[in-house]
Structures are given as C-alpha cells and as structure tokens.
Amino acid sequence: MKLNPIASNMTEITLNDGTQVLFSYKTPVASWKDGQFYKTDKKWSNTTTRHVNKWAHCAITKPQAYFDGLTQEQPA
C-alpha cells in the first residue's frame, strides 16, 4: 500500500491491486478502479464534497459501505 498526501485533509492510498482510494479527513469517499472513478452516495461536509469533485471526475455513485470495504483489513 502506498500513501500519497494530496492536500490538507485529503489523502490518496494505492492498494496492492492498484486500486486508488481517496480519503477526506479519515473517511474513504472515492476510488479509481479498473479505469473508472467511483464516489460515495453519502452526503458529507462541503469540504469533503469539494475533495471528491476535485479528485473523481465523472464518477459513478456507490454506497458508502463499498468504500469502507475497500480499506478494511482482510484476514490472513
């Protein structure tokens, strides 16, 4: 996993499979996977909305649980 701070309270991680996940503050809110952007359907703060819109162009909306699942540790 690779961590990439983008801006204040805006961080991107790259998972081992190449999936990129955008965090706004400590919450995963968008991703880039298989050539497509995805964004959360949950309404967060105005700042988080700006983070998502800046990072995920023409994104498909998915439930917040999808993003939470991307970043949960898998059992060994």
75: pLDDT strictly greater than 80: no
Higher pLDDT, 14 or 1: 14
**For residue 75, is it within any domain?**
no
Pair 60, 67: CB distance under 8 Å? no
Which residue range(s) make up the domain with 12?
Answer: 2-70
76 in any annotated domain:
no
Three-state SS sequence of the chain = CEEEEEECCEEEEECCCCCEEEEECCEEEEEEECCEEEEECCCCCHHHHHHHHHHCCCCEEECHHHHHHHCCCCCC
pLDDT at 25 over 70: yes
Domains contained in the chain, number: 1
Note whether residue 15 is domain-resident.
yes
59-73 pLDDT, tens per residue?
999 999 999 999 886
Whether residue 37 is contained in a domain is answered as yes
pTM above 0.75, yes or no: yes
Q: Judging by DSSP bridges, how do beta strands 10-14 and 20-24 pair with one another?
A: antiparallel
Residue 39, in any domain of the structure: yes
